[in-house]
Structures are given as C-alpha cells and as structure tokens.
Amino acid sequence: MKKYYENKVAVVTGGASGIGLALAETMLSCGARQVVLADFNDENLKREIARLNRDYPGKALGLNCDVTKEGDVREMIRRAAKFGGSIDILINNAGAGLAGIFDKLTNEDWEKAFALNFFGALYGIRAVLPIMRKQGGGHIVDIISGIAFSPMALQTMYAATKAALNGLTLALRYELWDENIRVTSATPGTTATQIWKAGGGEPPPDAQSPEQSARTILAGVARNERLVLGDGGDVSGAKGCFNPDYAAEVDDYLLNVARKRRSGEWVV
C-alpha cells in the first residue's frame, strides 16, 4: 500500500475529522507528497492542519469548502492543484448520516441530502477531471456506505443518496478507464465517528476506529478495486441484499431493524 501513495498529491473532502482525517494522515504516513484537507469546519481544519504540519512539515493544506456549492468545490480544487502542482487522488468523503421518518421529510430535506451526499462528490469529479486528464491520469474515490446495500428504515435519504453515489461511481469507472483515470467506490464499514450522533444513534461497541477503516479503504484503492468494502458486515450486505436466494433472510433482518428503530432502539 505504501508504494502507491509515495509522492502523490491527494485531496480529501470532509478531511478535518473522522474517516477523512484518518485517510489524509494515513496517506501522509505512506509518503504522500502533499495532502489537502477540505472542510467547512474552520476550527477543526485549523487545529488538524497545524498538528499534521508539525509531524509532516509543509505537507498539509487546509481549505474551507462547502461541498454543496459547486463554486466552492471548483475553487478548492484549483487551489489544491496550485499547492501540490497536481492532484493524483481525490477522495470525496464529505457527507452525513441522515435519519428521519419518511412522512416527516420535506422536499427541502431531500434536496439538502442530495446536495451533500451526492452532488458534493459530483462537483468534485467535474472539477478534477480536466486536471487529471492534463497530467495523464489519477484516481477518484467516492466514499459511500454499507447502507447502499442494506437500505434501512428511518434512513431513506441516507440510503438513497449513497446508492445513487455508488451507481455514479461504478458507471464512471468504465467511462474513464481508457484515460488512465481510476475510479473506486468504498464503504468505511461500521466505524466510530460523529456521523452516528448526526444520524440519531451511537456506534456499536465493536465498531472499528477511523484509522482501521482508512487503512482498509486505502489498501483497496491501491489495488484499484472496483468496490472496497470496509468490514465483514459490508461484505455480507453487498453479497446478500440483492441476491434473490437470500430474499427471505434479508426481509427478516431489515424488518427487525425497522421495528426496533420505531420502538426507539437504534440498531444496525
């Protein structure tokens, strides 16, 4: 894995905390030349960039960016390319775990969900493609979620946005293949981050750390895997959710999740 990231310039959205931060720091530990962290949280961004530059002097840059605004994303990519001289890897990690009862969700809620979890990545891809084409290649990684394979009750927006992003990513992989631009879809697995609280729950006690998730993702990216699955649960979900041979088992499992969630027990 280390060899793949040596001397590369990488951009990570949602990079100032959680899995995004772990991805950035792991790439630096693998010898990345420069890493750009894009995030809208200035406090986190300033703190983490200062820390990273103590450990890796001059190799980290923080850029404020609201990925729901295409102009912000274009400017962030422009500045990142100027900083590093190229962009070898773009990891579209920014997103949120969204929860809510379907009947109470408005069109505005849905628009905000897609703006963050889908269009943010789309804007990043659009902005980086001319740079990667000019330099002769690159790698785009879109962070989805296991919910794309196991759509759960009370998370319709999360399931829909991440499934849409997965479809975009995997189709684009073959559209760009002959231009030497790799495209990978990756799930983080069940990971202890703030996304759980944002989604209305707590991570289970056996959740992995962001650092563990980052190493799994980056190892799969280095192997140019089509779909990197972050843990055993995501592997099982990807294998079983749309397999007609397991339809009854999947129904039982997801119905049990729905009933427990409606009773107030947030399970996965």
> What are the residue numbers of the active site?
158
232 and 245 Cβ atoms separated by less than 8 Å: no
Task: Write the CB contacts of 73 (distance below 8 Å, at least 6 apart in sequence).
Answer: 65, 67, 120, 123, 124, 127
SS3 of 94, please? coil
Q: Residue 175: exposed, middle, or buried by beta-carbon count in 10 A (0-12, 13-18, 19+)?
A: exposed
Q: Residue 139 carries which DSSP code?
A: E
Backbone CA torsion sign across 182, 187, 189, 190: positive
Give me the residue label for tokens 């140019």.
Answer: 224
Which residues, 6+ apart, have CB-to-CB distance to 153 below 8 Å? 254, 257, 258, 261, 262
8-state DSSP, 178: G
